[in-house]
Amino acid sequence: MKYLHTMIRVNDLDQSIRFYTELLGMNLVSRTDYPEGKFTLAFLSYGKTKDDPCIELTYNYGKSSYEMGDAFGHIALGTQDIYGTCEKLKKAGVKIAREPGPMKHGTTVIAFIEDPNGYKIELIQK
């Protein structure tokens, strides 16, 4: 077995691609339109291909919003400078849902941000 990707549905594909590439430094490794199916898939990764772990952004034509379920938790990313990363993201207008600091009942420094669709992303100081 091998981890391949996590799929999330997005309201504005271009806005979401900009967020993950320009603000979080991921690479757009694939973008494919399926006009007959009325959807577009974009794969983003810190690697170079879809063989690397990816986030799959799914845009369904004509769909402008989704209800957040309560089963999905978050995506987690490691960073060498959590405080600097959060400051840079805050200046870019990213919502910081939890400022950097030690996690409850532990010492690991974490923060939470939200992508343009409201998905939570945990940042972990490495």
**How many angstroms separate the CA atoms of 38 and 62, rounded?**
8
Catalytically active residues are 122
The residue length of the chain stands at 126
> How confident is the model at residue 68, as a pLDDT?
85
Q: Which domain holds residue 83?
A: 75-125
The token pair that represents 87 in the structure block: 């400051």
Give the pLDDT mean for 57-72.
Answer: 90
Segment 35-40 mean pLDDT: 97
CA distances from 19 to 24, 67, 98 (A): 7, 20, 18
56 and 82 share a domain? no
**69, pLDDT greater than 90:** no
Is this prediction's pTM over 0.75?
Answer: yes
Token couple for 30: 């694939």
Asked whether residue 79 falls in the same domain as residue 43, the answer is no
- Looking at the fold, whether 10 and 41 belong to one and the same domain comes out as yes
Per-residue pLDDT, 61: 96
**Side chain identity at 124, as an amino acid letter?**
I
User: CB-side exposure of 55: number of CA atoms within 13 Å?
Assistant: 26
Report the share of the chain in percent with pLDDT over 70. 100
The model's pLDDT over 98-107, given as tens digits with 9 standing for 90+, comes to 999 999 999 9
Q: Does any domain span residue 87?
A: yes
pLDDT at 64 exceeding the cut of 90: no
Locate tokens 């409850």: which residue?
104
